[in-house]
Amino acid sequence: SVFDFGMIGLGVMGRNLLLNMADHGFSVIGFDKDSTKTGALESAATAGTTVKGVAELATMVQLLERPRKLMMLVPAGKPVDDVIESLIPLLDKGDVVIDGGNSHYTDTLRRVKYLREKGLHFMGIGVSGGEKGARTGPSIMPGGDKEAYEKVRPMLEAVSAKVNGTPCVAYLGKEGAGHYVKMVHNGIEYSIMQLISETYALLKKEGLSNEQLHETFKKWNDGDLQSFLIEITADIFLQKDDKTSAHLVDVISDKAGSKGTGKWTSQDAMELPVAVPVIDTAVAMRTVSGYKDERVEAAKIYSSSESAPALSVEQIHDALSFGILLSYAQGLAMLTQASKELEMEIPLPEVVKVWRGGCIIRSTLLEVFTRAYVANPTLPNILLSEEIAAIVKQVVGNTRAVVASAAQSGVAAAGIMSALSYFDAYRTARMPTNLVQAQRDYFGAHTYQRIDQPGTFHTVWGE
Ligand code: 6PG
């Protein structure tokens, strides 16, 4: 028999995605050198579905229908190149190879070109939603060869999350666009998580218990903050530790890990350039979280005695709404800019539609963004949309109160503060950067432009 789709790497993501595909009627085959994983795949298959696990790559390739369609879900970096090298001699022209991991888009770009020379289609596809999402419906961000996309489209549409019946997958642009969109998704993911953790600190400072934090986030999730990350945050505050019966969140170390996608977003934003300070801040705060020993020392030296007027839950809610909006605004502006600069032709209306379901940053706000981009697909920044401006105007006042109070009381709220500063700069028609230009010209003859006449000028300053 022949199989519709093959998977290389049967870790939990690979296995779950394959089982999901099988549940939708496709016959699937997975390869992993580890026979416990091939066994786990077969034994987890739903009765009546066609699922096979093999421990030889060549066996899997032989059993695939042509043109072959296969995906790898292996750690980013060298493992992807190793898989590609072992696949090349086994494949035929026209076969489609997908990298579904969190690869850097420049690697994807290089691989697309390399495999194109060999007559093979290579696609970088972002997959979001974690283990559960892979099993029941992830958000899928494909980019690369349009012709290859059409070949795998039925499978991707079948397995993806659905919002009102619409699959959360669409062709998102040329070359490395799929992985680019996933990278920015993760940057936004980092910043929303950072903002939620700041909100947690502020609410705790107002004396909320874990039960009250649970209730608060649950209520927020029933309102305009409805989103996956708020929903799981509400759950987290209820979880008890098996060992100590304490709240689990209270015994978890505050050192945050990361695998690099947030950092990539910031690095690439600097490169373009485009300003994504809330994402930069989120990356930096994970780094600061790692300075545990120093922070313990510094806490003794700078023990906090500051105080500020109490904040209401409503004010903190609004600051979080504001910060989250600004995170999306910065990430989406980055995609818009990158699409132009790197000639990826990323369709922004499709991106926000794909993000509505299945992914980590899914939220009801994405419906608002979808409307904004459908109305104006070339919107440089969603802050310029009238509907979004109306939301921002509602919450910015309380955001200022929260930022002022956090500053006075010594609570680190760098994400919210940076969102507000970005906003204030963005809505300033004349920034004070005329002074920067004057300084540059003063010490380095870097020249400047004037507001009252065209041309380039230099002054011999101080004479
Ligand atoms: C997703 C997640 C997923 C993963 C990140 C976490 O969309 O499903 O983004 O890709 O959880 O890699 O990244 P960090 O380990 O860097 O936090």
Closest residue (by CA) to atom 14 of ligand 1?
258
Superfamily (CATH) of domain 188-426: N-(1-d-carboxylethyl)-l-norvaline Dehydrogenase; domain 2 (1.10.1040.10)
Q: Known binding site: residues?
A: 102, 128-130, 185-186, 190, 259, 286, 440, 446
Q: Known binding site for substrate: residues?
A: 102, 128-130, 185-186, 190, 259, 286, 440, 446
Report pLDDT for 305.
76
Per cent of the chain over pLDDT 70 is: 100
Report pLDDT for 436.
98
Report pLDDT for 356.
98
Residue 335, C-beta contacts closer than 8 angstroms, at least 6 positions apart: 180, 181, 184, 346, 348, 351
The domain ranges of the chain are 5-171, 188-426
pTM: 0.97
- Examine the residue annotation and report whether 113 is marked as an active-site residue of this protein: no
Residue 77: which pLDDT band, with cuts at 50, 70 and 90? Answer: very high
Residue 346 to residue 351: CA distance in whole angstroms: 8
Residue 457: which pLDDT band, with cuts at 50, 70 and 90? Answer: very high
Q: Assign 3-class secondary structure to the chain.
A: CCECEEEECCCHHHHHHHHHHHHCCCCEEEECCCHHHHHHHHHHCCCCCCEEEECCHHHHHHCECCCCEEEECCCCCHHHHHHHHHHHHHCCCCCEEEECCCCCHHHHHHHHHHHHHCCCEEEEEEEECHHHHHHHCCEEEEEECHHHHHHHHHHHHHHCCEECCEECECCCCCCCHHHHHHHHHHHHHHHHHHHHHHHHHHHHHCCCCHHHHHHHHHHHHCCCCCEHHHHHHHHHCCCECCCCCCEHHHHCCCCCCCCCHHHHHHHHHHHCCCCCHHHHHHHHHHHHHCCHHHHHHHHHHCCCCCCCCCCCHHHHHHHHHHHHHHHHHHHHHHHHHHHHHCCCCCCHHHHHHHCCCCCCCCECHHHHHHHHHHHCCCCCCHHHCHHHHHHHHHHHHHHHHHHHHHHHHCCCCHHHHHHHHHHHHHCCCCCCHHHHHHHHHHHHCCCECCCCCCCCECCCCCC
| pLDDT per position as a tens digit, 117-145 | 999 999 999 999 999 999 999 999 999 98
Fold of the 5-171 domain: Rossmann fold (3.40.50)
- Examine the residue annotation and report whether 182 is marked as an active-site residue of this protein: yes
Report pLDDT for 19.
98
| pLDDT per position as a tens digit, 343-354 | 999 999 999 999
Q: How far is the CA of 194 from the centre of ligand 1 (A)?
A: 14
Residue 304 has pLDDT above 80, yes or no: no
Q: Is 132 in the pocket of ligand 1 (CB under 6 A)?
A: no
Q: Is 194 in the pocket of ligand 1 (CB under 6 A)?
A: no
Atom index in ligand 1 nearest the CA of residue 186 equals 9
Pocket test for ligand 1, best of 189, 263, 283, 287 (most atoms within 8 A of CB): 189
| pLDDT per position as a tens digit, 431-456 | 999 999 999 999 999 999 999 999 99
Q: How far is the CA of 184 from the centre of ligand 1 (A)?
A: 11
